[in-house]
Amino acid sequence: MEGSLTCTLAIESSCDDLSCAVLSNDGADDGNGIKILSNIVYSQDYIHSAYGGVVPELASRNHIKTSIPVLRAALSKAGIKLRDIDFISATAGPGLAGSLLVGLMTAKTLSYALKKPFARINHIEGHIFSPFLETQEEFPFIALVISGGHSHIYIVKSHTSILLLGKTRDDACGEAFDKISNYLNYGYPGGRIVDEMAGKGDKKAFNFSLPMKHSGNLDFSFSGLKTQAINIINKLGGPGKLKEETVYNLFASYREAIAGILLKKVLSACKITGVKTIVVSGGVSANSRIRSLFNEILPENGIKPVFPSQGLSTDNAAMIGYVGFFKDKIDPVKDKEGFCNINADPSWEL
């Protein structure tokens, strides 16, 4: 690791993807001075697609099988040995309990055996800061985290000042995409499928009402939108009875409604707070219409949108490692009690 000041190993296993990454802080004056040396992601989509969603027990079992091969691949690509690692970071929550435990215990074992400091990281926090692996940080900013399990809005004033402004009251927007894809038997993960098919449709073909449009707060609700779509499908004959063009139009209109309410809420957040930078992250931030709509409308309102690249939108360990650089770390040798008490927290909220 000649020429670098600090090197971290990070592990992310909050759901069905398992990822290991190696990052270095080379002390560069430009950017944030943090480089991704490797970021290996093992996806289980091919396993869970048969069930229309993530099966927690299968996810954790496969994490056990793949954790060491993924770790070895990350170290190999980075061109380093375990002895070169200065500290270790891992996701401790939120997420699936079994999945979290596999990655967390792997990281803690390495930390203890190597006598290297350890940092527990919140998964959502990783998403919030993920774009800054590629671009300069700008505080304060509004963070919109959208994924299969989260639809949250935060105001972020620093690495340690993150305040929740609003969140979904039922389904997350990613879940809304997954469920409508499954209902029409197009498979999982639904977000990618709906986005691709929606590109062939007319976004004005169906009129979806925007949920909680006039709520007066920054919360979301996507369950009713899903119900609207299912009712339309059933009126048209039900799953398997719709023409291909109708499905394209339905998905395009459905995607437009989700993008529209997300845009309205972040515009409201900017108006309330006076903040003029929006970070959009999480798996659903890869959605092409959300990106194009935000990049079109936000600048017209004097607001700067910031997205991670496609590869850093979904769950990955690089974002966990990035946050680790700014966290207090526990030394397993000096603070054995504190280290032993680190556990997975499936419901860990920022």
- pLDDT single digits (tens) 188-204: 889 999 999 999 999 99
d(CA 350, CA 121): 11
Phi-psi region of 237 (alpha: psi -120 to 50; beta: other; left: phi over 0): left
- Compute the average pLDDT of residues 197-226: 94
Residue 338 has pLDDT above 80, yes or no: yes
pLDDT > 90 fraction of the chain, expressed in percent and rounded: 91
All structural domains of the chain with their residue ranges: 6-129+314-340, 139-307
The token pair at 249 is 């139009």
Tell me the C-alpha distance between 21 and 36, whole Å. 7
Contact present, 131 and 307 (Cβ < 8 Å): yes
Above pLDDT 70, what percent of the chain?
Answer: 97
> In this predicted structure, what is the pLDDT of residue 50?
86
Q: What is the pLDDT of residue 49?
A: 87
Quote the CA–CA distance of 90 and 106 in Å, as a whole number. Answer: 9
Distance between CA atoms of residues 181 and 191, nearest Å: 8
Assign a CATH topology to domain 6-129+314-340.
Nucleotidyltransferase; domain 5 (3.30.420)
pLDDT of residue 176 exceeding 50: yes
Rounded Cα gap, residues 322 and 109, in angstroms: 21
Sheet with 6-12, strands from edge to edge, namely 34-42, 18-25, 6-12, 87-93, 118-122
Q: What is the mean pLDDT of residues 78-90?
A: 97
pLDDT reported for residue 27: 54
Mean pLDDT of 75-87: 97
Q: Is 177:284 a contact under the CB 8 Å cutoff? A: yes
> Is the pLDDT reported for residue 24 higher than 50?
yes
pLDDT at 52: 85
43-47, 85-89, 108-112, 284-288, range with the lowest pLDDT: 43-47
262-286: average pLDDT: 97
CA-wise closest residue to 19 among 46, 45, 42, 47? 42
Amino acid 26: pLDDT: 74
Task: Examine domains 6-129+314-340 and 139-307 and report if their fold is the same.
Answer: yes
Question: What is the arithmetic mean of pLDDT over 111-127?
Answer: 98
Banded pLDDT at 4 (limits 50, 70, 90): very low
**Average pLDDT of the chain to the nearest whole number:** 95
Q: What is the rounded distance in angstroms from the CA atom of residue 279 to the CA atom of residue 261? A: 16
pTM: 0.95
**Can you say whether the dihedral through the CA atoms of 313, 103, 345, 339 is positive or negative?**
negative
Q: Do 93 and 104 contact (CB within 8 A), yes or no?
A: no
- pLDDT for 1 equals 39
Give the C-alpha separation, 177 to 189, whole Å.
Answer: 8
Q: Which CATH architecture has domain 139-307?
A: 2-Layer Sandwich (3.30)
- The residue-averaged pLDDT of 163-170 equals 97
Q: In terms of Cα–Cα distance, which of 54, 23, 337, 45 is closest to 175?
A: 54
Q: Which of 146, 142, 44 is nearest to 98 (CA)?
A: 44
Q: What is the pLDDT of residue 316?
A: 98
The strand pairing partners of 304, in sequence order, are 277
Residue 105 has pLDDT above 80, yes or no: yes
Beta bridge pairs of residue 38: 22
* Mean pLDDT value of segment 112-118: 97
